[in-house]
Amino acid sequence: MRFAPAVFAIAIATSVLAMQKPRMSVDVRVFGADESAVTNLTREDFSIYEDGQRRDILGFEPVETPYRILLLVDVSSSMESDWTFLEPAIGRFISKLRPQDQFAIAAFAVKPELLLDWTNAIEGSSVKVDLRPFRVQQSVAGSGIAVKPHKIGESPEPIPESDYSYSFVEIPKDFYGALSWAGKQMEGVRTRRGVIVFTDGAQPGTKRERTKSGYFGIVNSADDKEFQKILKATVQSETPFYFLTLGVDVNPRHGFPFYGLLDSIQTRSRVQQLGEATKGGAVFPKKPEDVAPLYEQIARELGITYTLTFDGIGSNVEVRVRGNNLHVRQSSAKTTGE
């Protein structure tokens, strides 16, 4: 009997913990009747409902809250045909960031490499980073630096610009490893954050199986242990991942044979799952020329976003805003690390 009070106390504590709801956040953008963005609202202008029940707004980040955005670029040989469209796209992205925002640029093939550490958006207007896997020339803040062709991860060796030349060698890729690395880079970032990935979404070595039609193709994502592992890791990073993906079935670089089409469908499915699970997204430019406008669109949308935090489970969340002729566009609620 003497243990009863302790057991009772433990039972109460367990019950209280079970009743606690996770801390959730939701990103919203507000527009007027003419579809212009409304960016001067306060916490008092918003209300949150979950399953029809009003929730207290525990945290509020206005539009002015800074972002830290990591631009992660696939520079493997399979992306070679798209490199010429990428640097202008990143330039347009940077031009749409606000003075308070920061960005970094990383590239990956065999392993990721940070090409440009966190940089203020204003300073970034004079920064140019060459994103080819064997980088030959890099210009930072207007100064030219010529280096010998080298693999990602190796230190470049300077050479005279008169000897400038190109060299491309087929090298493997670790897409999932790069995503894991990117998530770790965002650890400790206390402001709003995100990772934008430019890739074809392919992970060499993905498990295959023979289908009913006899084709030996990529397994369904639910049966892919490596994919499930990286899916869990990206969600745990509590960072939205946005994917701009070329070369799948909805935007092929060239006609697919039947087996290539099936693999491409599986690849697109994985990219979509990663974007949705992290509360980011995935878009599939119809052609490389569409990449720059999409980068610009992402930057513009980030710059007009509010973030609201509440206790709940993220089920049937509705954000309402006070004011005539105003309407809200919201993301799905996501768990925060608070």
Asked if residue 328 and residue 199 are part of one domain, the reply reads no
- How many C-alpha atoms does 83 have within 13 Å on its Cβ side? 17
* Distance from C-alpha of 160 to C-alpha of 146, rounded to nearest angstrom: 6
Q: What residue has token string 């007009």? A: 304
Whole-number Å distance between alpha carbons of 136 and 41: 48
Please tell me whether residues 59 and 157 are part of one structural domain: no
Same domain, yes or no: 199 and 314: no
Both 107 and 49 in one domain: the answer is: no
CATH number of 162's domain: 3.40.50.410
Q: Are residues 101 and 52 in the same domain?
A: no
| Euclidean distance between CA atoms 244 and 144, whole angstroms | 29
Residue where the block lists tokens 């920061």:
102
**Buried-exposed string 236-253: b where 16+ CB fall within 10 A, e elsewhere:** ebbbbbbbbbbbbbebee
Determine, yes or no, domain membership for 53: yes
Q: Are residues 161 and 55 in the same domain?
A: no
Q: Which of 322, 246, 249 is nearest to 287 (CA)?
A: 246
Q: Is residue 286 part of a domain?
A: yes
- The answer on pLDDT for 260 being more than 90 is no
13 assigned to some structural domain? no
Q: Which residue has the tokens 């995935």?
A: 282
- 30/150 same-domain check: no
Query: Would residue 16 count as lying in a domain?
Result: no
At residue 10, the pLDDT reads 43
> Mind listing the pLDDT tens digit for each residue in 311-326?
988 789 999 999 889 9
Number of structural domains (the chain) is: 2
Same domain, 329 and 194: no
Provide the whole-model pTM: 0.78
Is residue 324 domain-resident?
yes
- Residue 14 domain flag: no
332 or 4, which is more confident: 332
235, part of any domain = yes
Structure confidence at residue 328 (pLDDT): 95
Tell me if 107 sits within 8 A of 113, measured CB to CB: yes
15 with 325: CB under 8 angstroms? no
Both 43 and 121 in one domain: the answer is no
Across 66-70, 154-158, 260-264, 328-332, the highest mean pLDDT is recorded for 66-70
Structure tokens at 88: 């202008």
Q: Where are the beta strands (DSSP E) in the chain?
A: 23-31, 46-50, 53-55, 59-61, 67-74, 102-108, 112-120, 127-128, 137-140, 143-146, 192-199, 208-210, 216-218, 241-245, 281-283, 306-311, 317-321, 327-330, 334-335
pLDDT at 337: 59
Token representation of residue 42: 């306060």
CB 328, CB 317: distance < 8 Å: no
- 333 φ, ψ (degrees, to nearest 5): -70, 145
19 or 81: which leads in pLDDT: 81
Is residue 15, in this structure, part of any structural domain at all?
Answer: no
If asked whether residues 212 and 323 sit together in one domain, one would say no
User: How far is residue 67's CA from residue 83's CA, in Å, rounded to a whole number?
Assistant: 26
**Distance between CA atoms of 285 and 254, rounded to whole angstroms?**
14
Same domain, residue pair 158 and 263: yes
Question: What is the model's pLDDT at position 155?
Answer: 52
Percentage of residues of the chain with pLDDT beyond 90:
45
Domain that holds residue 139: 67-302
Higher local confidence (pLDDT), 7 or 102? 102
Provide DSSP, 235-273. Answer: HHTT--EEEEE-SSTTS-SSPPPHHHHHHHHHHHHHHHH
What is residue 91's DSSP assignment? H
| Statement: residue 287 has pLDDT above 70 | yes
Q: How do residues 179-221 score in pLDDT, each as one tens digit?
A: 999 999 999 888 899 999 999 999 988 988 876 666 678 899 9
Same domain, 210 and 324: no
